Amino acid sequence: MQLAEFVLAVLLMELTPGPNMAYLAALSLAQGRAAALYGVLGVAAGLAVHAALAALGVGAAVAASPWLYQVLRWAGVAFMLFLAWEGWRGADAAEAAPAPGLTAGRLVLRGFVTNVLNPKSIMFFVAVVPGFIAPGAPVTPQLALLGGVYVGIATTVHLAIILGAAALRPWLMAEHRIRLVRRSLSLLLVLAALWLAWSTGLR
């Protein structure tokens, strides 16, 4: 098993801008570090599900089914656009405060859905991870180990993203900038949705 090379591959993937990064940065700026931590937890849960499905062979079945892949792809795009619309609609708020009803559970769920509807995660486990499996050794334990490493690295990167965004929050979310920043974050989510639609169409 080429663990060092796998770590590098995961780092390169997670440092590439995408839906997870856009969502967590926007959440941290709009609602603060505490809310974003719940988002990170949800994203990590989504990654764990992808890893488990890969170990069970389900991910390969989804990737091999054009219609299942497309359903997952467009559901992910639609969810990102919904988050963007919701943020734009709330951009006229007088101060940076969590939207009513966004409990810890809902924040975790949104992070989970953002990740689990991203077919690029499935394709990573289906197309990239097998290249790091040692031949002649049991596959399932190796997939479990690589999945755990993936979740750990991704979560570390996501924590760094939200901490960096939270550090900028006091300046960006000053009263006279709130509307502009929130609408800019909504546009960022729209761009993430468009990127997801474009990049996952390259098969």
Q: pLDDT tens for residues 139-186?
A: 788 888 999 999 999 999 999 999 988 888 877 666 666 677 677 777
Place of tokens 């920043």: 181
Residue 97 lies in a domain: yes
Backbone torsions φ then ψ of 73, nearest 5 degrees: -60, -50
Instruction: Give Cβ neighbours of residue 19 (< 8 Å, ≥ 6 apart).
Output: 76, 80, 114, 115, 118, 192, 193, 195, 196
| Joined tokens for residue 62 | 């989804």
Residue ranges making up the domain that contains 175: 20-199
Is residue 193 domain-resident? yes
And the tokens for 161? 């993203």
Residue 4 falls inside a structural domain: no
Over range 33-49, report the average pLDDT.
94
Q: What is the mean pLDDT of the chain?
A: 79
Q: How do residues 98-108 score in pLDDT, each as one tens digit? A: 445 478 999 99
Percent of the chain with pLDDT over 70: 81
Torsion of CA 22, 24, 29, 30, to 10 degrees: 100
In the chain, how many domains are there?
1
- Tell me whether residue 12 is in a domain: no
The lowest-confidence range among 122-126, 136-140, 176-180 is 176-180
pTM higher than 0.85 for the full model?
no
